[in-house]
Structure 1
Amino acid sequence: MSRGAEPGSAGTVQEEKVFEREITVTARLKYLLALPEGYETGVERWPLLVFLHGAGESGDDLEKVKAHGPPKLIAAGDRAFPCIVVSPQSPGRGWNPDVLAALVDEICREYRVDEDRIWLTGLSMGGFGTWALAAAKPDRFAAIAPICGGANPSQADRLLGIPIWAFHGAKDFVVPLASSQAIVDAIREKGGEPKFTVYPEAGHDSWTETYADPALWDWLFAQTRSHSKRESTPVK
């Protein structure tokens, strides 16, 4: 397809054109998988928790993914999760929502997943990834808990139906508080009711306190995807 052509100073014509073609991309993601106690001996379906790490854990060494969040708690024996836990490793900077969505689909095919209870959380780069994946697939998740991340406020409409509890440190100079505040405010302006916890004294590491708080897990594990009107279960 061409648009108007304009000659350059030497008389050479440059035409405006558009190239369009569907391209299949092969993706490869390593990930940690933790199955809950009783999975191997039962037949019931289990909830799924997806954890997205930060930039420092990217690469090709899955041991790095155990530095923070659910993988750290599992490795240390500090928490037994009543769900399947999947913790992928990004090979580079950032998270690709399409690749992550494909991974979730694969886990649901290969394991007994209760697809009405798929929860998503992540920190820093993974916090951004959490917002991005939820906006890309808003009907896939029962709830999300993004930590020190952010999203373009234009995504607010796509996030309205998802129970959200976001977290950020007020003294975060790596990812400013405004990054989370902007998308939370945008969702609230659209009528959504995301929860938002700001730690007054925390810097970039707001995830250690968040993941150590039983209230987060009580809230997250109480969320179930609704196929009609989705509502967030309040914290008691």
Structure 2
Amino acid sequence: MKPVNLISRLATFRRAIALCALFGPLSMVQAADTDHRGEPRLERISYTSSLDKTERDFFLYLPRGYNPKSDKKWPVILFLHGNGERGNGKDELDYVLIHGPVYEAWIQKKDLPFIIISPQLHMFDMDKRGISYIDNRSPAQIPERLTEGVPPREPFFATPQPMSGDAAQVDMSLIPPLLPEGWDKVEEDLLSIIDTVQSRYRTDKNRLYLTGLSYGGFGSWWLASQHPDRFAAIAPVVGWGHPSYIGPIAKHQIPVWQFAGGRDQTVPIQYFYPGLNRLEQLGHPQVRFTTHEDMGHDAWRRVYRSDDFYHWLLDQSR
């Protein structure tokens, strides 16, 4: 055996041991208990957070037709939720079902041909800051998958302000690149979750997609900038990318589809342009930007229910 092969195998073996230590026997049992009949499944997978050593769960959606005994490999979406869906990763994990691809696939029964990873961001004391949509949330808001049919969709946010097409923010030097207590704080957990799913399920490693809304949109830009070799495409929704994070994404030419709401009063439209323009200045050939001028911050509702969104992802490969 050549020395370089031995070194490589030892590294792989050590990484496997580290993953087993992180995720433990409980998640292995859950993974082995996958339904073989081909119907969609929503699994809860346990892991130990590297941040605070607590046990937490994340959702794993397995699409119709998934079979662990088949040779077919499935594309994967990593979805990062917004600020209002934070929680302890246990009895609060269901808040993650309120929005995004898992809501579409599991609650609205949209037949999405992806394995979908949906973790929950730690609260980080956001429930002590007087944020109304966190303080006033209740389990009654969590949608349920119906035996027959699907529940009615929530109405869009009211947008009384006129459409304006605001000009771009020129100077971003004083604008913080990240929101406080965001997804960057759980980087190690996210990478370990990706690794364990890719190692235990039949996934296509060349078709790992990253998307998120609001806080998760910012997190998508950040995570892609730190690990640009891992993702086949990113689709940040109502969360802009700071120009300081653009270089690695442009270098690896990760296809980007950015979404914004023209009437968004939470994440103003003018901050989206500098990062996207920087991508093009660096010669990035695959930059899309869709602004839903008639919508506010919840433009994600339209984005994630759109067939075009998922077709575009499937067209991308690393």
Aligned residues: 203
Go from structure 1 to structure 2 and tell me whether the alpha carbon gap of 1:175 and 1:28 turns closer, same or farther (over 3 Å shift). Answer: farther
Go from structure 1 to structure 2 and tell me whether the alpha carbon gap of 1:154 and 1:84 turns closer, same or farther (over 3 Å shift). Answer: same
Does the residue aligned with 1:117 lie in a helix, a strand or coil? strand
| 1:180 maps to 2:234 | no
Unmatched runs of 5 consecutive residues or more in structure 2: 1-49, 124-180
Q: CA-to-partner distance for each residue in 1:100-157, whole Å, 9 max, x for gaps?
A: 1222112112212110010111100000011111111101011011001122202211
Paired residue type of 1:62: L
Does the residue aligned with 1:205 lie in a helix, a strand or coil? helix
Any conservation in 2 of the 1:168–1:198 contact (CA below 8 Å)? yes
Go from structure 1 to structure 2 and tell me whether the alpha carbon gap of 1:219 and 1:186 turns closer, same or farther (over 3 Å shift). Answer: same
**CA–CA distance in structure 1, aligned partners of residues 269 and 109 of structure 2:** 29
CA RMSD of aligned residues (A): 1.9
Please identify, of 81-90 and 185-194, the stretch whose mean Cα deviation from structure 2 is larger: 185-194
**CA–CA distance in structure 2, aligned partners of residues 27 and 221 of structure 1:** 35
Any conservation in 1 of the 2:60–2:118 contact (CA below 8 Å)? yes
Match of 1:130 among 212, 217, 220: 220
Identity of aligned residues (%): 37
Does the residue aligned with 1:166 lie in a helix, a strand or coil? strand
Map of 1:58 onto structure 2 = 86
Map of 2:126 onto structure 1 = none
Does the residue aligned with 1:206 lie in a helix, a strand or coil? helix
Counterparts of 1:1-236 in structure 2, within 5 Å, are: 26=53, 29-40=56-67, 41-60=69-88, 61-92=92-123, 93-96=181-184, 97-160=187-250, 161-193=253-285, 194-225=287-318
4+ residue runs over 4 A deviation: 23-29
**CA–CA distance in structure 2, aligned partners of residues 24 and 169 of structure 1:** 33
Does the residue aligned with 1:89 lie in a helix, a strand or coil? coil
Deviation at 1:83, TM superposition (A): 1.7
**CA–CA distance in structure 2, aligned partners of residues 132 and 153 of structure 1:** 11
Any conservation in 1 of the 2:241–2:276 contact (CA below 8 Å)? no
Map of 1:19 onto structure 2 = none
**CA–CA distance in structure 2, aligned partners of residues 24 and 214 of structure 1:** 36
Deviation at 1:91, TM superposition (A): 1.2
Go from structure 1 to structure 2 and tell me whether the alpha carbon gap of 1:82 and 1:192 turns closer, same or farther (over 3 Å shift). Answer: same
Any conservation in 1 of the 2:59–2:118 contact (CA below 8 Å)? yes
TM-score after normalising by structure 1: 0.80
Any conservation in 2 of the 1:27–1:99 contact (CA below 8 Å)? no
Does the residue aligned with 2:119 lie in a helix, a strand or coil? strand
Unmatched runs of 5 consecutive residues or more in structure 1: 1-22, 226-236
Q: CA-to-partner distance for each residue in 1:75-107, whole Å, 9 max, x for gaps?
A: 324312212111011112411333312221121
Any conservation in 1 of the 2:60–2:116 contact (CA below 8 Å)? yes
Paired residue type of 1:214: D
Deviation at 1:70, TM superposition (A): 0.9
Deviation at 1:178, TM superposition (A): 2.6
TM-score after normalising by structure 2: 0.60
**CA–CA distance in structure 1, aligned partners of residues 205 and 227 of structure 2:** 13
Map of 2:131 onto structure 1 = none
